[in-house]
Amino acid sequence: MAEMTRKEFLAGAVALTALRPWRMFAAADAVATGAKRPNLRLGVISDVHVRAATGQFGTEHLVKALAWFRDQGVDGVILAGDMADDGLVSQLQHVADAWNAVFPAGSGVEKLFVYGNHDIEGASYNPKLKPAPEELIVTDRAAVWEKVFGEPYEPIWKKTLKGYTFIGAHWVAWKGVPEIERYMQEHAAELRGNRPFFYIQHPHPANTCHGPWAWGHDEGFATRALESFPNAVSISGHSHHPLVDERSVWQGAFTSIGASSLRYIGPMFGRENSGPSQNDDLKQMPVIDKFSEKQGLLVSVYDDGLVLERRDFAHDGKLGDDWIVPLPVGPAAPFRFDVRAAAATPPRFAADARVAIEGPIDGKDRKGRPTRQLVVTFPSALMGEGLTRAYDYEVVAEVEECDVRRVAATKRVYSPGYFNRPEREAKTVKCVFALAELGTRKAGYLSPRVRFRVRAAESFGKMGEAIVSEAISF
């Protein structure tokens, strides 16, 4: 296939966005880049959270990911922070040992790493840990970096790899890196142009990938620093959000990509089985098993864009179709959230899908307290060629009393394996309600009845048609 022109690339990208929003540019190499070899190939990981050489927080998955990147012929590897889980020098050394085992001196593969909050503050998160000052990275982060990784330390560093510029900003504080705005202004002349440059920091730039809801994004320093560079590509971690989430890639004034986590997945809050929230006392389900998945990216860089392969390192395979991200960002940027949300196709259930109700039963809430519960189960939304995968589900409890029907409670819930590859998705989804969430039954009155209405939602929140249970007394 002949190499495409930039105009053809962008036109095809926009057309495919409108037609197939959830699998944006499915024919990655065939449609966009032909047989041409990428100019640059990068491995991208984040949040490895190493504590030891082996074990649950060991380096096995790091070594596995690095070895796979090596076999793909990468030119460099980005690690966007949180290497040493407790911020200890020995833990950082385990990361360096893993790197050196796969990429020994002279391998020609560039190390593109930055510190994250755990590298600098990790010991303070574990009150049982009493390390000596010399064991802490934060005691002298520059000296530790130079000793462990064998390269000079700079709070904001710049490297060039095969003609592409990489800028990395080490963790400063939860608010972000204030100095990056001045740094970008000072280097503006050399960074401008059509050729992309890459910016790496640990937290997501505010209001970019994963939206304003992303846990732990910065306070806007990086967003302001990059907004005058349509050729800028930001890569960040910190939130641990999975790469099945379409919001992992954002385009606006620049491009922002979330790198997920090689240690464990962090679900968005607000779901019945996700992380903590203001209503934690009401949660009737345990948090999903987030330690069973390890994710990263293989990024191939072409003249006119990036091809992103989303990798499942826990089970060896792709998390979905490759994303093709055209660069630099233009007026028709296909990965803009508003464009993709408008074009999104809602997920749908099979024609024979049914909602089942078990209970009332004597169950326990997330804190182990005895609770009278109703358990609602339903099949996962349809998946397959041309179908939109569900990101989560809305479950609405409608209480019927005489001729009146009212919404008693509304919950969002994840499928137990929503972050997995499609073929590993759970076949059945469960949502649990406490009877106390539905109202109380008073002596002498008719027994209230409840039914449940379930809709599947894609990443941008567009929902398909509901399936509804029969009404039962409770």
Sequence-distant (≥ 6) Cβ neighbours of residue 460 within 8 angstroms: 246, 247, 337, 340, 341, 344
Per-residue confidence band for 35, with pLDDT thresholds at 50, 70 and 90: low
Do the domains 356-473 and 6-343 match in fold? Answer: no
| Euclidean distance between CA atoms 111 and 101, whole angstroms | 13
CA distance 143 to 137: 9
Assess whether pLDDT exceeds 90 at residue 447: no
pTM of the predicted structure, to 2 decimals: 0.91
Give the span between the Cα atoms of 419 and 119, in whole angstroms: 26
Please state, for a pLDDT cut of 70, what percent of the chain lies above it: 90
pLDDT of the residue at 11? 41
Compute the half-sphere exposure of residue 456: CA atoms within 13 Å on the CB side of its CA. 28
Res 21 pLDDT > 50: no
Q: What is the pLDDT of residue 324?
A: 97
Residue 30, pLDDT > 90, answer no
The DSSP annotation for 145-171 comes to HHHHHSS---SEEEEEETTEEEEEE--
Q: What is the pLDDT of residue 10?
A: 41
Q: 456: pLDDT confidence band, cut at 50, 70 and 90? A: very high
The rounded distance, in Å, linking the Cα atoms of 47 and 351 is: 41
pLDDT at 141: 98
Is the confidence at residue 196, as pLDDT, over 60?
A: yes
- Give the residue extent of every domain in the chain: 6-343, 356-473
Residues 417-428 have a mean pLDDT of: 91
CATH topology classification for 6-343: Purple Acid Phosphatase; chain A, domain 2 (3.60.21)
Side-chain-facing half-sphere of 297: CA atoms under 13 Å:
29
- Whether the pLDDT of residue 276 is over 80: the answer is no
Overall average pLDDT of the 268-296 stretch = 87
- pLDDT given for residue 440 in this prediction: 67
Least confident of 4-8, 194-198, 265-269: 4-8
| CATH architecture of the region 356-473 | Sandwich (2.60)
pLDDT tens for each residue of 304-343: 999 999 999 999 999 999 999 999 999 889 999 999 999 9
Q: pLDDT-derived band of residue 138, with 50, 70 and 90 as boundaries?
A: very high
What average pLDDT does the chain have?
Answer: 90
| Model confidence pLDDT, tens digit, residues 46-95 | 999 999 999 889 999 999 999 999 999 999 999 999 999 999 999 999 99
Q: What is the pLDDT of residue 446?
A: 66
Q: What is the pLDDT of residue 404?
A: 84
Per-residue exposure over 107-139, b if at least 16 CB sit within 10 Å of its own CB, e if not: eebbbbbbbbbbbbbbbeeeeeeebeeebbbbe
Residue 378 has pLDDT above 90, yes or no: yes
Residue 444 has pLDDT above 90, yes or no: no
Q: How confident is the model at residue 36 (pLDDT cuts 50, 70, 90)?
A: confident
Residue 4: predicted pLDDT: 40
- Cα 240 from Cα 445, distance rounded (Å): 49
Average pLDDT over residues 115-135: 96
